[in-house]
Structure 1
Amino acid sequence: MACFAEDPRNLKLGLAADGFNPFSNMSTTYSCWPVMLVTYNLPPWLCMKKENIMLTLLIPGPKQPGKDIDIYLQPLIEDLQELWNNGVNVYDSYTNSCFNLRAILMWTINDFRGYGNLSGCTTKGKVACPLCGDKTNELPLRHNLDVMHVEKNICESIIGTLFDISGKTKDKINARKDLEDMGVCHELHPKDHGCRTYLPAASHTLSKTEKENFSLRGLLPKGPRMAIMRLCAFFNKLCQRVIDREVVVALEDEVVETICFIVECYLVDETVIFYSGYFKHDFGGNDQNARNQDFFSDVILEGHPILGGKSMSLSDEVLERAHSYVLFNTTVTKPFLQMHLEELKQSNKNLERNHNLLQKTHANNFATWLKEKVSFLTSICEDGETLKWLANSPRNHAMSYNGYVINGQRFHTKDVDKSTQNSGVSIEATTICRASAKDTSQVVDVVAYYGVIKEIILLDYFQFQLPIFKCHWANAGHGVKFEDGFTLVNLHQSQNQYVREPFFLASQAKQVFYSREIDSPSWYIVLKAPPRGYYELEMYNEDQDLTSRPEYVTTRYMNIYDDSEEVSYVIEDCEGLLV
């Protein structure tokens, strides 16, 4: 029999199974277990699309199958064994021939409870770790934990504990009795209160008012806050698309310390679909566009507007600033920026010696120079037609919109009254800045700027339209700071230094959200979400997005213990619970 790896058409499969209640959180108890096969022959942005996942079993019932799941899986196992041992004769339409198709089941993917059901190992109680059991390494199949499912479960447990949600909180009487048995955290031990038991308020307990105005940084004491934030940083790093093995080892050491602290203090959307533009036009089934999917337009170069637009007239000054930014930041003009600088140096030796004067002259004269040279430059430019219309400036009349979709993200202006916040943006720009607070020497560095969208404008270059955003920027010097691993911005400081540079290209925008600090109303925590349906790897470069790097929420400088603070496991200004 030929080697399995010799034919790339042989299937490499992964099995995923999990249960859910189709009646959501209603009182009806019911369990439905889908068993799916994922084909890893496909690239990452296709193998997880719903049309490429095979639903092999659907196990319904009043309760979960538990360890009896092997009975339901028996027909599937027999088919998989047949595909591995003998294969089946199938027709290949591409080569117009038949071949023997074989398949291999490489692993399973589950949460911790499903792990136990499929592997036959115990995953609860004193011997809950399946990796520590006898002959664990001799299991015939590799069983993997779904990190995003585990992350969801941990998130629900933390939120349930902080808000004391019935059925979700982990801070119950049995947990307090465990602390008593272990002889730790004596302040949290349960106390007899007549025929009932009193549970003292822990340091993570929130009052009713605090639950209504929830802010992790503004409410929780430093110990619980740092523990939760370090746990968030752990998952942030673990879920990066590329991760080094040495980083994983360091993460393991960090999370052990974090979990130990959580145990000492007693603090203990699931599905990711990799959208792709691979089948944008013809897939023969569902032609509905994704919510934030870009679509091709002969007129608009990038993205598309949403909501109603209105005509507007731009003053000469505003038009000049907007057009200047376009010329200095579009790909088609990039090669000619350096060409203009070289001509300026050759024409005036003073400019060559004075860098600031050179840049000022370059900024003031580039648009005129490009317009004069456009006839020659279009002959050496691959996109000469676009360059020609860019050089001749846009119309004074433009279109203004309240919403825009680009790069898999939906943006709105600040004035749009919506329940969701889509006006926050950030961009990274190369600029000259001070080396440090103490070192006044100038260095070139990439700086992240944060702001909110005030206007969305489509500049009309006669043959095409180009979207730009007009923003209200936070002061990059005194209006941005880093605390406890988070980036905070002050959106209320004076922005006089940015009044003359309010514009940037819509294609450069990265969406961020701002969460107001309760104890400091002028400062906002910066939160970032990846673009919706924009996971095609060659389209979204994670390393070039500063706000997506693991250091953005980092464990560096997150010291859980502070020798200057007295550790307390209870909170005095909040009532405990009688059970």
Structure 2
Amino acid sequence: MARLYVLQNSGIVESYEEKHKVEPERQDPRNVPKRHAKEFSRWFEKQIKEMRHHQRETTSDDLYSLACGPLSRVSRYSACIVNGIRFHTKERERNRRAQNSGVLVKGESEDYYGVLTDIIELRYLLGRQVFLFKCDWFDVRSGIHKDTYFTSVNVASRAYKNEPFVLANQAKQCFYVKDNKLQGTWEVVQDITNRSSFDVLEVEVEAGVEDEILNAPAYQENEPSIVDRVVEADLDMDPFPLNRGDLESEFLMLK
């Protein structure tokens, strides 16, 4: 199941998925989605291996490694750092004061909320690897409440038990606090931007000026800076997200 999830959530195989769906539909139009899910990974592996054999230069190492599937050895972790953000499994933080197990996945029409229960590393040929988060997901169809200011979830209402995985780089971190209004098993979702994550706008600098800036000596003023007034500025920051979406994810596994 984990292998199929990785395949279906890798943009480089989308065209192969569409191509494969034609075959089971041509053979028998009944239960096409089920048969596609069962047969696709093996079909995809066969297609890429044949292409690798006959047209090696057109088959990237990433595609070949992915098609061959993960190695038999799988590693599990209770904590990791993804793009500078620390995640713990729910079990690891059981006796800790800090909460790092909340997971939020942004969807096209709906956001999904859950808690992290396992961190799995799949290893592939040629040194490739993929990290999966296994989560307990809350039911956002019936176990969610939104008002003007807050979003609350019913943590006793679970769903998607057959689809527990998410790619680690798809996950954002969130926190859950008791909902004093709804009470019971309802908790308010705190969706925040981590203090260490920023988007810094890149500005082009004229040739020669950049070297002057980089080579300028560092200095420290003898007198402390004093702010004697605060000027309010009407700045619209919405178009500038405080996270980088153009860089590959970085992972650090913790014992």
Match of 2:101 among 423, 446, 451: 423
Asked if 2 retains the 8 angstrom alpha-carbon contact of 1:407 and 1:534, the reply is no
* Superposed counterparts of 1:196-215, under 5 Å: none
Which amino acid counterpart does residue 32 of structure 2 have in structure 1? L
Unaligned runs of 5+ in 1: 1-320, 431-445, 546-579
CA contact (8 A) 1:327 1:333 kept: yes
Q: Does 1:375 align with 2:49?
A: yes
Determine the C-alpha separation between the residues in 1 that align with 2:19 and 2:164. 27
Q: Counterpart amino acid of 1:513? A: F
SS state at 1:367 partner: helix
Looking at structure 1, the residues matched to 200 and 139 of structure 2 have their Cα atoms a distance apart, in angstroms, of 34
Q: Residues 537 and 516 from structure 1, CA distance in 2 versus in 1: closer, same or farther, beyond 3 angstroms? A: farther
Number of the residue aligned with 1:484? 148
CA deviations over 1:109-153 (Å, ceiling 9, x no partner): xxxxxxxxxxxxxxxxxxxxxxxxxxxxxxxxxxxxxxxxxxxxx
Say which SS state the counterpart of residue 476 (structure 1) adopts. Answer: coil
**Which residue identity is paired with 2:164?**
P
- Look up the equivalent residue of 2:179 and give its one-letter code: E
Q: Is residue 2:157 matched to residue 1:493?
A: yes
Query: Deviation digits for residues 40-63 of structure 1, max 9, x if unmatched?
Result: xxxxxxxxxxxxxxxxxxxxxxxx
CA shift, 1:390, in A, is: 1.5
Write out per-residue CA displacement over residues 238-296 of structure 1, whole angstroms, 9 at most, x where no aligned residue.
Answer: xxxxxxxxxxxxxxxxxxxxxxxxxxxxxxxxxxxxxxxxxxxxxxxxxxxxxxxxxxx
Q: Which residue of 2 aligns with 1:386?
A: 62
The answer as to whether partners of 1:451 and 1:474 remain within 8 angstroms in 2 is yes
Deviation at 1:452, TM superposition (A): 0.4
1:402 aligns with 2:92: no
Give the equivalent residue in structure 2 for 1:515: 177
Establish whether residue 448 from structure 1 lines up as the match of residue 122 from structure 2. Answer: no
Equivalence for 1:465: 129
Count of residue pairs brought into register by the alignment: 198
Counterparts in 2 of 1:375 and 1:493: CA distance versus 1, 3 Å? same
**Per the alignment, do residues 467 and 365 of structure 1 end up closer, same or farther by CA in structure 2, a change over 3 Å counting?**
same
Cα 1:381/1:341, change in 2 over 3 Å: farther
Query: Structure 2: any 5+ residue segments left out of the alignment?
Result: 203-237, 242-255
Q: What is the alpha-carbon distance in structure 1 between the residues aligned to residue 114 and residue 63 of structure 2?
A: 30
Q: Which amino acid aligns with 1:425?
A: V
The AA in structure 1 aligned to 2:66 is L
Alpha-carbon offset, residue 336 of structure 1: 1.8
Which contiguous aligned blocks of 4+ residues in structure 1 show a shift greater than 4 angstroms?
Answer: 376-383
SS of the counterpart of 2:70? coil
How far apart, in 2, do the equivalents of 1:382 and 1:423 lie?
Answer: 41
Residues 31-110 of structure 1 correspond to what in structure 2 (within 5 A)? none
Q: Give the drift of 1:414.
A: 1.0
> What residue number does 1:337 align with?
17
Relative distance call for 1:534 and 1:364 in structure 2 (3 A) is farther
Does the CA-based 8 Å contact 1:377-1:384 persist in structure 2? no
- Work out the CA distance in 2 between the residues paired with 1:483 and 1:528: 15
Q: CA deviation at 1:535?
A: 1.6
RMSD of the alignment, in Å?
Answer: 2.6
Whole-angstrom distance in 2 between the partners of 1:371 and 1:341: 15
Greater helix share, 1 or 2?
A: 1
Structure 2 equivalent of residue 327 of structure 1: 7
- Using the size of structure 1 for normalisation, the TM-score is 0.32
The CA deviation at 1:537 is: 5.7
Q: 2: distance between equivalents of 1:517 and 1:382?
A: 55
Shift of 1:536: 4.5
- Give 2:192's aligned residue: 529
* Deviation for aligned residue 1:420: 2.3
Percent of residue pairs identical: 32
